[in-house]
Amino acid sequence: MKDKLRIGISCYPTHGGSGVLATELGCQLAKQGHEIALISYKAPLRLDSTCNNISFHEVPISAYPLLEQYPYTLALASKLAEVARNKQLQILHAHYAIPFAVAALLAKDIAPELNLKVITTLHGTDITLVGRNQAFQSVTSMAIRKSDACTAVSHYLKKETESHFKINRKIEVIYNFVDIARHSIIYNQHKNKSQNRKQNIIHISNFRPVKRLMDVIKIFSIIRRKLDVNLILVGDGPDANAARQLAKDLSVDKYIQWRGVVDAVEPLLAQADVMLLPSEYESFGLVALEAMACGVPVVASKVGGLPEVIKHGHNGYLANLGDIDTMANFALEILQKKQNHPFIKAGFEYAKNNFDETTIIAQYTDLYYKTIKYDT
C-alpha cells in the first residue's frame, strides 16, 4: 500500500473554475487520507473544514509605504516554504501559472532540504490572457518549463500552450471533475419536476467581459417573447451594472433573479431548466459540467474546450460565438420539451462516464506518485 501524500495546494480563493477545482481536489484528497494544506490570501469558497486532513494557511497582506503594490508573489513563496517545512510537504501543486507556479518554484529554492516537487495545472487565462501579455510571457514560460510536472484541463488548452510557448516538455491533460454522487441528487429531482411550474434559465460566471453577460440578457429577452420563463444569474463582476441597465432597457429586469456569489451552486441548479454559457472563451467549462451532472442541459458557444464537454446534438447545444438568435432557439427547444428532453439524461450520463471525481482524482494521485518517484 502506498504511503499517504503530503501536498500543498495554492489557488485563487474566488468563484472561478480554477479555485473551485483546486479546492474540491484538496477536499477529496484529504478524505482519502492524504495531508493537504491549502495556501491563499483567504479561505476558498468550497473549502470543507469538517475534514481532519485539510488545513488552510492564509498569506498575510500588509501595506508597505515604500512599495506602490504589495509583493504578493514573494509573500506567497515565503508562506509556501514555511508551511512546507512545518508539514514536511512533498509536493506544491500550483493552480495557475502566475503567481502560484512562480511562487512554488521560489519556495522550492527557499527550502531545498525538502526536495519539493512543483506541479502546475494550467486552467486557461493564465495561458491565453495573462501568459500572452508581453510583461509575463517569459516568466510564464519559465514556470511551465521548470515545473516537475505540468497538466492542462483540456486538450484545447494543451495545444494552445504548446503552440504559443513552444516549450519542449510533456503536458498531461487531466480534466476537471464533478462529484457525481452529490450531483445525482439534483439530477433525480429534475426527473420528477412538475410539468406546470414556471421554468428557469440559469447563468453562472464571474461576470467579466469574456463571459458575455450582455449576450445572456439579450438571449433571455428573445426567449421571453415566446415563453414565460425567469432568469437566474449567479455570480458578480464588472459587467453586472451594465447588464442590469440592459435588462431594464429590454423590459426583462423584473424576470431576473440576481443571486450573487454563492458557495454551493447545486441548490440553484435544482431550480434551472437550461444553462446559458455564451462565453467568448472557456478552457474547459466547469459550470457546464456541473449543470450537466445535475440534469440541466447547456447551450453554449462553440469555443475553447467546451466541445470536449458538450457534444452538440447529443448532450447539449453549441452555437457560433455571438449568435444569440441560434442560442435562443436552442434554449426554446429544450424548454418546450421540459423534463422530457433527452439531453437531461445524456448530459448526466456523459458527466458520469467521463468526468466523475473518482476517475479524475486517481489520475492526479498517479501523477503525484510518479512525480515524487514513489517506489511501488
Calpha distance 154→275 (Å, rounded): 21
The 10s digit of each residue's pLDDT in 144-166 is 999 999 999 999 999 989 888 88
Calpha distance 211→274 (Å, rounded): 17
Highest mean pLDDT among 12-21, 33-42, 344-353: 344-353
pLDDT of residue 30: 92
Whole-Å CA distances, 194 to 151, 188, 198, 327, 368: 43, 13, 9, 25, 46
Q: In what order do the strands lie in the sheet with 54-58?
A: 54-58, 35-40, 6-10, 91-95, 117-122, 149-152, 172-173
For the chain, domains (ranges, CATH) are 6-177+356-371 (3.40.50.2000), 180-354 (3.40.50.2000)
pLDDT of residue 271: 93
Q: What sign does the dihedral 78-83-86-88 (CA atoms) show?
A: negative
The 10s digit of each residue's pLDDT in 251-297 is 999 999 999 988 888 999 999 999 999 999 999 999 999 999 999 99
Please list the residues that pair with 54 across neighbouring strands. 36
Computed on alpha carbons and rounded to an integer, the radius of gyration of the chain in Å comes to 21
Please list the residues that pair with 235 across neighbouring strands. none
Across 171-175, 182-186, 227-231, 240-244, least confident range:
182-186
Q: Is the confidence at residue 128, as pLDDT, over 70?
A: no
Instruction: Please count the residues of the chain.
Output: 376
